[in-house]
Amino acid sequence: MKLRTIVKIAITSSVVLLCSGFALYSFFRLSAAEGQKDFDLYELVPSTTSAVFVTDDVLEFVAEVDDLTCSKNQQYLYVSKLFSYLKQSLYALSEDTPHGLSRQMNQMLISFHEPDNERNQVLYCRLGNGDKELVNRFVRKYISSLYPPKTFVYKGEEIIIYPMADGDFLACYLTSDFMALSFQKKLIENVIDAYKSDKSLADDPTFTGVRAPKKSVAAATIYARMKGMMGWTEFDMKMKDDFIYFSGITHDADTCFAFINQLRQQQSVKGFPGEALPSTAFYFSRQGITDWASLLSYGNAQEQNGAVRTSEVQNRDKEFSRYLMENAGQDLVACLFQREDTLQDAAAVLSLSVADVTEAERMLRTLVNTASAEFTTKNQIDRCPLCGIALNENGVCPKCGYKKK
């Protein structure tokens, strides 16, 4: 074999081995990176939050929103002001990286805080390898180039305040693992407190139970709770054409004082009350009430813990509670519908089945007449004894329909 041939074989083998070694090194490095546990965004969310919106694929969620019929009519689904900012910048952000957003960065979470308004929100997203540099490049290109940001230090962590073009300010908490944004610097401080003190939603056993792995894929999930009413409720969100579907389940601590436990004592109802709904109805709820005593007892207990009631009001409540227990059926339907005059506000109707219509009407008239006789006013305005609203020129209450005799 010629020396030249031997040299070619040696060089070729060296190149192949070098490439193979580099490929193996890159493979194991990527595998190790993928094997690292992703940061749990719920470790940042303060435990006092009232609701959480989360999607594991923000690009797909935005695409589904854009595919809704309302979006095609320029009536976009509004999630929050923070999400609107993100949506405007999302495609520009993804175009700044050749392979699109990383798997980690594609997860987005928004927490909502009291009092409920568009400023009391925090937006979070995880960051993968290189994502922090991507965010910094985006900020320098689209935000900080307009106005210089200011940096504050809170408990050893940096909070950057960016002035926005519309006059607002955006507070940012950025690390190599995550990013948190809010219009309120105080909320970002609360995020840092939750993260450092282990008092976040990730440390709430009730909430972690709600976050159990799902059997079906949803575009987004909403977690909400109402203090004093019910615990965490999970809603899976799906969108298609003209519709947005929500389905979920409520979780609560085992306490007899929770409103949800009063509902557990009732039997469910079946069927769609379409024949009782106006054609312009846009919302309705139907529920079965088979145990009025427990439900009314809970309501009375809640009122006693609230504002002080006069003896007349307490007696009237007792009479009305007795009326419901003696006459009310088990089917309760609430409905909101649009009036013929679309310039007026929507109308609300509450429908309750009764066992004996004649007897229920007689007792209701007696109850209303008694309340009317007890009601006194210091002026000449005729008011509804049930609502306290001034009657119209025909002596009819514009809210509940009561008519003066």
| Model confidence band, residue 158 (pLDDT cutoffs 50, 70, 90) | very high
Q: Is the pLDDT confidence value at 176 over 50?
A: yes
Kindly state the tokens that stand for 87: 């949506």
Predicted local distance difference test score (pLDDT) of residue 403: 79
pLDDT of 305 over the 90 cut: no
235 with 249: CB under 8 angstroms? no
Measured in residues, the chain has a length of 405
- Rounded to an integer, the average pLDDT of 264-289 is 78
Strands 178-182 and 150-154: unpaired
Identify the CA nearest to 289 among candidates 352, 363, 357. 352
Question: Model confidence over 348-376: pLDDT tens digits?
Answer: 888 888 888 888 888 888 887 777 666 55
DSSP 331: E
Distance (Å, whole) CA 262 – CA 294:
7
Cβ pair 151, 192 in contact under 8 A: no
Predicted pLDDT of residue 351:
85
What pLDDT shows up at residue 312?
73
What is the pLDDT at residue 393? Answer: 81
Domain ranges of the chain: 41-225, 265-374
- Scanning the structure block, which residue is given the tokens 């809970």? 298
pLDDT of amino acid 2: 47
CB 60 within 8 A of CB 219: yes
How confident is the model over 53-111, as pLDDT tens digits? Answer: 999 888 888 888 888 877 766 566 666 778 777 777 776 776 666 566 777 777 889 99
Quick one: CA torsion of 251, 252, 254, 259, rounded to 10 degrees?
Answer: -120
Query: What pLDDT, on a 0 to 100 scale, did the predictor assign at position 51?
Result: 93
b/e map 306-334, b = 16+ CB within 10 Å: eeeeeeeeeebeeeebeebeebbebbbbe
Strand (E) or helix (H) holding 213 = none
The candidate with the shortest Cα–Cα distance to 240, out of 70, 59, 55, is: 70
Strand order in the sheet with 328-337: 281-288, 328-337, 347-354
